[in-house]
Each structure stands twice: as C-alpha cells, then as structure tokens.
Amino acid sequence: MTTETAKSVQHLHSITNNDEWGTHPDTYYQGIYFAKFSPTLDVCATDENSQLDNFFTKKENGLIQNWNEDFWMNPPYSEITQWMDKAYESWKKNNVNGLILVYSKTDTKWWHKYVEGIAEVHFIKGRVRFMTPDGEQAKNSAPYPSCFIIYRRKEN
C-alpha cells in the first residue's frame, strides 16, 4: 500500500465516523468566483464551520427549512441525495441561486437527476482539504475529486 493510498483509506475511515467537514475559506471564495454571486444562507453548517452569518445547523435541520434566498451548501456526503433533492427543489420553487460543493461522482443517480444537463459545473483542480469539526484544516486531502454545482436564478 502506497502512502497516498494509506491517506485515502484514513480519510475514508474518518468521513464514515464524522460527516461534518467544513469548507476552507479559500475553497469557498473559489466557488464565489465561479458563481459570480454571494450566497446569503449556509444551509447545512455548524457554529464552527459556517461561511455566513445566516445558517442552519444540524439541530435546525436545513432539510425542513425554506431556502428562499441565495444559498451555499457543503452537504454531509452520507446524505447527498436528500440534500441535492432539497437544493434542486428550492432552486425551482424559490427561483434562487445555489452554490454547492460536492464530490464529483458523475456516474451516480443523484448526479443525473439533479446536475447533468440542469446545473452549471466547475471541477476543482486537485483535491480539496476540508476543515475538521473544530475548525482546523484536515490532515489529509479528500480521496476523491470535488466540484462546484451552480443553480442559477431564472430571469423573468
């Protein structure tokens, strides 16, 4: 097993134990650059990792809230389908912009239902280094590629 493989296995093990990985501010601002809008609502955050002043925590359960403003989402990847469904439905219902950071698994059902031919996609060069629940940068990079998905508000 190579060192790189060992790091990937360590990270995969850690994401099954903890699904609350924050986004490094540099990665977030890279997404803003691509999106060309600034979200006002962080829909799934913690007090330690929110990118915005206005956010929903696990306790507030963003999946049951109304996302009626431009949103940012770095979802728990163990629940990716539920979060992508909520993002898609909120975009359609409320005509808002959405900026989403996810792993780029283009072969999955959720990708083809909520992304392919629907949203704008920007692939991230290299592997993202997420933030731990206590706000520190993770020791290892993600073992998979990531991308930004952008839902754009429809102009009347």
**Are 131 and 150 contacting, i.e. CB atoms less than 8 angstroms apart?**
no
Q: In this structure, which amino acid lies at residue 145? A: P
Inter-CA distances, 42 with 6, 46, 62, 131, 155, Å: 33, 10, 9, 16, 23
pLDDT, tens digit (0-9, with 9 covering 90-100), for 89-148: 999 999 999 999 999 889 999 999 999 999 999 998 887 777 666 777 767 767 788 899
**Are 73 and 100 contacting, i.e. CB atoms less than 8 angstroms apart?**
yes
| Beta carbons within 8 Å of 9's beta carbon, 6+ residues apart | 1, 143
Specify the length of the chain in residues.
156
CATH number of the domain at 62, please: 3.40.50
**Are 9 and 2 contacting, i.e. CB atoms less than 8 angstroms apart?**
no
Instruction: Provide the residue range defining the domain that includes 86.
Output: 3-151
> Is 122 within the bounds of a domain?
yes
| Domains identified in the chain, total number | 1
pLDDT, tens digit (0-9, with 9 covering 90-100), for 125-142: 887 777 666 777 767 767
pLDDT averaged over the chain?
Answer: 85
